[in-house]
Amino acid sequence: MINRVNNINKAFFTTALLQWNKAENQRVMPWKNEKDPYKIWVSEIILQQTRVHQGLEYYNRFIKAFPTVQHITSATESQVFKLWEGLGYYSRCKNIIATARHITNELGGKFPENFNGLLQLKGVGDYTASAIASFAYNLPHAVLDGNVFRVLSRFFGIHTAIDNNNGKKIYSNIAGELLDKINPGIYNQAIMDFGATICKPKLPLCNICPLEKKCVAYIKKIVNDLPIKEKMINRKYRWLYYLLIEWNNKLYVRKRVSNDIWQNLNEFVLIETPVAVSPSALKASSAFTQIFDSADFKITSISKIYKQQLTHQTITGRFLKIMTKTKLNIKDHELIPISQLDLLPFPKFITTYLKD
């Protein structure tokens, strides 16, 4: 176990990394070399638990629609969530709205200019605070994301798990020792780019890696064994059956408000079951009959089976289009004109169906 960095390897690592960054790093992203803390903040929140190629389009759209933090504050929650639609992890969007309002209304529209101040913002943890502090203000705070964990674990041969408190402390100490204190922003971007393009999770490009000759994982042939995680994901399986109940060219829609997936997004009438059920069994269920009671209705179409993989959950379900001649009283639901559905934010599971 390594708690401190050997000075020789430390000097080699930082020097070689920065040389690679200057001579060979071709990774282009719109937020690189950005000094505006607002734009850095938006990019970092979007990239939390999102791959760069997916987040790039969202970032560009977000900045175009909301060029400043005040623009987010002036928008409705529905407008902001609509722009976030499909990106997932919607608590991030909720945090963006809350933080934008706090900065606009409580901080005079200005982002904090130090690490501790940034850390007080909702949705901002050590990594995001370090990124904003180093990129916007050139402050000496090392970032630790998945790319950095992987590079450090392999180069120094660290077998301590990256997802426990002891491991996080060890990696944080090492990252701080390696950091170029003069150009922390450049160094932080370099090590993240290096992990994304050279020291990749699968099929790393060891044959062109400038760190190869001193990389413990490469020398010991354990590259694919590192880094180590100790926590296993307990996956949950859910079956969702959505009823698109149409009355007078309107559909019944509600906003999800419970502390669950897709909070603050909209959905149609939902029947969730513990296991998969057939359409006939669904129609015969008490949940279904309670919705329609004695109403005159007709099921006009039943979709194919849709599936979405979330980090900890597998969502499977179908969509049933239903015409009713009777106006129904469905708790917490509103009748929304079909022509206005495009204005509402829905989870990807639903928008995938609507676009088919």
Q: Does residue 5 register a pLDDT over 80? A: no
Query: Which residues have a Cβ under 8 Å from the Cβ of 96 and sit 6 or more positions away?
Result: 42, 45, 72, 80, 123
Task: Report the 10 Å Cβ neighbour count for 340.
Answer: 11
Q: Which amino acid is at 19?
A: Q
Decide: 220 and 212 in contact? Cβ < 8 Å. no
The residue to which tokens 């999102």 are assigned: 50
Going by pLDDT thresholds of 50, 70 and 90, the confidence category of residue 4 is low
- For the stretch 148-170, pLDDT in tens is 999 999 999 999 999 999 999 99
- Between CA 330 and CA 318 the distance in angstroms is 20
Decide: 109 and 103 in contact? Cβ < 8 Å. yes
Question: Is 44 noted as a catalytic residue in this protein?
Answer: yes
Mean pLDDT of 322-348: 96
313-324/236-247 β-pairing? parallel
Instruction: Show the tokens assigned to 128.
Output: 């995001």
- Between CA 290 and CA 284 the distance in angstroms is 10
Domains of the chain as residue ranges with CATH: 7-225 (1.10.340.30), 236-355 (3.90.79.10)
Decide: 126 and 148 in contact? Cβ < 8 Å. no
- For the stretch 92-126, pLDDT in tens is 999 999 999 999 999 999 999 999 999 999 999 99
Cα angle for residues 162, 181, 110 (degrees, 5° grid)? 90
Mean pLDDT of 250-259: 95
- For the stretch 209-222, pLDDT in tens is 999 999 999 999 99
Q: Helices marked H in 220-341 — which ranges?
A: 279-284, 286-292
- Between CA 272 and CA 257 the distance in angstroms is 16
Mean pLDDT of 17-24: 97
| Active-site pick, 44, 113, 177, 230 | 44
Q: Which amino acid is at 25?
A: N
Instruction: Show the tokens assigned to 71.
Output: 């623009």
Q: Does residue 3 register a pLDDT over 50? A: no
- For the stretch 169-191, pLDDT in tens is 999 999 999 999 999 999 999 99
> What local confidence, expressed as pLDDT, does residue 174 receive?
94
The mean-pLDDT minimum among 47-56, 78-87, 147-156, 206-215 falls in 47-56
Q: What is the pTM of this model?
A: 0.87
> What local confidence, expressed as pLDDT, does residue 344 receive?
97
- Between CA 117 and CA 151 the distance in angstroms is 29
The angle, 0 to 180 degrees and rounded to 10, between the axes of the packed helices 7-23 and 146-156 is: 130
> What local confidence, expressed as pLDDT, does residue 1 receive?
43
